[in-house]
Amino acid sequence: MKRHFRLTRSTDFKRVRSNGKSYAHPLVVLYVTPSDQPGTRVGVTATRTVGNAVRRNRAKRLLRAAMADLLPETVPGRDLLLVARTPLPLAGLSQTREALASLLRRAGLISPLP
């Protein structure tokens, strides 16, 4: 997932968080808002409650890796925000991918059956 398709600005994060719809899972929270861009843009965050810098980096790395797998099947034209929750650094990549896929399915962004 290239940086060009990622949310980087603080205002972008605030916009998605305040205007978007949210979908929760014990490991991740997903925010979705329509975008004026043709592709899908994704932002990833982990707050201090997740843990120290090593745990936060791991949480965001897992989310980026899982999203990279699911991105080709995702309906474009949305801005997504992925928020890590505390137990996420303890999970594996497959668990993270499952959690994220269920959230995207509930949001109607990928087809119900993989």
Partner RNA sequence: CAGGCUGGCCGGACGGUCGCGGUCCCGCGCUUCGGCGCGAGGUCGAGGAAAGUCCGCACUCCACAGAGCACGGCGCCGGGGAGACCCGGGGCGGGGAAACCUGCCGGAUCGGGCCACAGAAACAGACUGCCCGCAAGGGCGAGGGUGAAAAGGCGGUGUAAGAGACCACCGGCGUCCGCAGCAAUGCGGACGGCCAGGCAACCCCCGCCGGGAGCAAGGCCACGCAGGGACGAGACGCUGCUCGCGUCGUCAUCAGUCCCGGGUAGGCCGCCCAGAGAGAUGACCGCCCAGGCACGCGGGCCGGGAUGACACCUUCGGGCGUAAACCGGAAUCCAACUGCUGGACAGAAUGCGGCUUACAGGCCAGCCUGAGGU
Partner RNA sequence: GGCGACGUGGCCAAGCGGCAAGGCAAGGGUCUGCAAAACCCUCAUCAUGGGUUCAAAUCCCAUCGUCGCCU
| Residues lying near RNA in the complex (CB under 7 A) | 2-4, 6-11, 13, 43-45, 52-54, 57, 60-61, 65, 68, 92-93
Helix (H) or strand (E) holding 96: helix 93-106
Measuring CA to CA, which residue among 23, 64, 34, 33 is closest to residue 46? 64
User: For residue 56, is it left (φ>0), alpha (ψ between -120 and 50) or beta?
Assistant: alpha
Nearer to RNA, 61 or 105 (CB): 61
Distance of closest approach, residue 112 Cβ to RNA, in angstroms: 27
Distance of closest approach, residue 26 Cβ to RNA, in angstroms: 20
Distance of closest approach, residue 74 Cβ to RNA, in angstroms: 15
